[in-house]
Structure 1
Amino acid sequence: MNKTELVAKIAENAELTKAEAARALKSFEETVTEAMKNGDKISIVGFGSFETSNRAARTGRNPQTGKEIQIPAATVPKFKAGKTLKDSVN
């Protein structure tokens, strides 16, 4: 499912117009992104949680040449599915 299909499904399920559903989804994306930029954790009970994790700098290899390269430290987003979501999928 791509974003357009997701917006259509949200609009259908919530009885909204596609434009309203698109604005709601965009607002959700922006809110989660902003919170994660600030280092906050977002928990939606039953669905899951969004948070950031720090990845340390490390040495890697260029797969084409085999030459060692330095990979810088980074902050990466993480999503952990909640129990209700896990149970629904299984």
Structure 2
Amino acid sequence: MSAQYPHVSIRDIELATRHMLDYLSDALRENERIEIRGFGSFSLHIRPEKQGRNPKTGEPVWVPEKRVPHFKPGKELREQVDYARADAQR
């Protein structure tokens, strides 16, 4: 980014990026959905608790509920990635 915008300092770019990532993290922590138009959306998927097995002993173990971040790419991003792949194959 600093090459594209030489009038903006690297420190300002780092600070803006850090603030954006902190905002995304805080929103997900509060179970909010974030949508960036043309890029995609971030949300949480909740995996319920389940019974698993200890791989060493085979003993049953309860695995607690987990909240897992999930990203769903937007249409524009999917198309750009797909077109890039199609161009590379030619």
Is 2:62 aligned against 1:62?
A: no
TM-aligned CA deviation for residue 13 of structure 1: 2.9
- The answer to whether structure 1 residue 37 and structure 2 residue 25 are counterparts is no
**TM-score, normalised to structure 2's length?**
0.79
User: Unmatched 5+ residue regions in structure 2?
Assistant: 83-90
Cα RMSD of the aligned pairs, angstroms, is 1.4
Percent identity, please: 31
Residue in structure 2 matched with residue 11 of structure 1 by the alignment: 2
> Rg: which structure is higher?
2
Q: Across the two proteins, how many residue pairs are aligned to each other?
A: 81
TM-score by length of 1: 0.79
Q: Which has the higher helix share?
A: 1
Contact preservation (8 Å) 1:59, 1:71: yes
